[in-house]
Amino acid sequence: MAHTNDDHAIWFPLEQIFSAQQCAEFMYMGSVGSVSQFKHRDTRRYINIDASSGEFYHYVDREYRKVTKSSAIAHVFG
């Protein structure tokens, strides 16, 4: 993906786990603290990644709960 420096900072967490082609399937939705939110264009499900630590989260009952990488990926494509 061709990004400006600012864009790269936003997309960096997602680029660490997916190819450029796969990243193109997501929309950046914003961030809460250091947790970046990405929404898949087809499944409409979110993957939430802490940009600082690389940890993954699900948003449940109005709070972010840490989950495994495999659980986060399964959720977004499930």
14-54: pLDDT as tens digits:
999 999 999 999 999 999 999 999 999 999 999 999 999 99
Q: What H or E segment, with its residue span, contains residue 60?
A: strand 56-60
Residues forming a β-bridge with 57:
48, 66
- With 80 as the cut, is the pLDDT of residue 5 above it? no
Provide the b/e sequence for 25-38 (b: ≥16 CB within 10 Å).
bbeeeebeeebbbb
Cα–Cα distance for residue pair 40/76, rounded to 1 Å: 7
Q: For position 9, what pLDDT does the model report?
A: 67
DSSP letters spanning 2-31: ---HHHHHHHHHHHTTS-HHHHTTEEEEEE
pTM of the model: 0.87
Domain boundaries, the chain: 5-77
